[in-house]
Amino acid sequence: MKVLHRIFASCCFRAVALTLVAVSSALAQQSVAPPVEPLSSMTPKDAHTRAKLHTELGSLYFRNGDLIVALEELTIAISIDANYAQAYSTRGLVLYQIKEFASAEKDFQRALDLAPKDPQISNNYGWFLCNTGKEKESIEYFRRAINDPLYQTPALAHLNAGTCYARINELDLAEDYIRKTLRYMPDNPQALLQLANISYKRGNYDAAKEHLKKVVRLSNPNAEALWLFLRVERRLGNSSDEISLAAQLRRKYPDSPEYQEFLKGNFE
């Protein structure tokens, strides 16, 4: 796999080189010779391009669950351009996943120092805070992302803010943010799951069930969804459906924290 991604990177660099040659040839055919930049002015641009490429590769491996290679690519990106904020932000997410929380915090702080107004970095750091017991602190960073008119995925920041508010039982605020997410993406399974969670916390089990039925229809439900659905059916007294959902949870996610809670009988 490492060989493949290095071959891919090599091919990309060759493509850039060929493009530069083609542009130079075209300019040479005109009456005015192309200006020649000093090598010192060209090097930072080249370093930034290479760092961006390795960051994109790292992001791809991260999304595919290959955390070790992702970490390698992002570390390479930072070694090439120590001022590329996105590389630090993405590496912070990877470090969080492997439970290197102190190192993740350091990377996020470096990213924020380099690009304090970047909405994607704000959203990423907010999610890190939310998942490390600092839910209230996370909201400020989600708001920064949401309030940036250039942010391309505000629905994601709304969803994250709603999820974190639900965790600290600020249910009205949570619902407000989740419903804003659904204005952008009406069939988003994660947003519907959070609405179900909010309804469950309020004791509105019928509404929770309706939201969960949509989640199941729109996606392959994860362990969180199955576990919540199981508890909803338990509250409604539907024992046969509860047993069926328990079997699905055991079959699909036997190592999940949710299934471990089921085995312990921790239904709340």
CATH number of the domain encompassing residue 64? 1.25.40.10
Residue 68 counted as domain residue: yes
Tens of pLDDT along 48-93? Answer: 999 999 999 999 999 999 999 999 999 999 999 999 999 999 999 9
Helix (H) or strand (E) holding 178: helix 171-184
pLDDT band, very low/low/confident/very high, at 34 (cuts 50, 70, 90) = very low
The range of the structural domain enclosing residue 104 comes to 47-110
Q: Tens of pLDDT along 192-213?
A: 999 999 999 999 999 999 999 9
**211-263 pLDDT, tens per residue?**
999 999 999 999 999 999 999 999 999 999 999 999 999 999 999 999 999 99
Asked, for residue 104, whether it belongs to a domain, the answer is: yes
- Type of residue found at 96: Y
Q: Does 74 map to a domain? A: yes
* 65 part of a folded domain: yes
Looking at the predicted structure, is the pLDDT value of residue 38 above 90?
A: no
* pLDDT one-digit tens code per residue, 166-183: 999 999 999 999 999 999
Determine, yes or no, domain membership for 229.
no
Distances (CA, A) of 99 to 4, 124, 132, 240: 28, 15, 10, 38
Query: CA 244, CA 251: separation in Å to the nearest integer?
Result: 11
Compute the distance between CA of residue 197 and CA of residue 139 in angstroms, rounded to an integer. Answer: 19
The answer to the question of residue 204 being in a domain is no
Overall pTM > 0.85: no
Split into its structural domains, the chain has a count of 1
Q: Token digits for 24?
A: 């130079």
Per-residue pLDDT band at 268 (split at 50, 70, 90): confident
Task: Give the pLDDT score at 5.
Answer: 44
- 53 assigned to some structural domain: yes
The predicted-structure confidence for 98-154, as pLDDT tens digits, reads as follows: 999 999 999 999 999 999 999 999 999 999 999 999 999 999 999 999 999 999 999
CA dist 156 and 147 (Å) reads: 13
Confidence band of 40 (pLDDT split at 50, 70, 90):
very low
pLDDT above 70: residue 25: no
169 is a domain residue: no
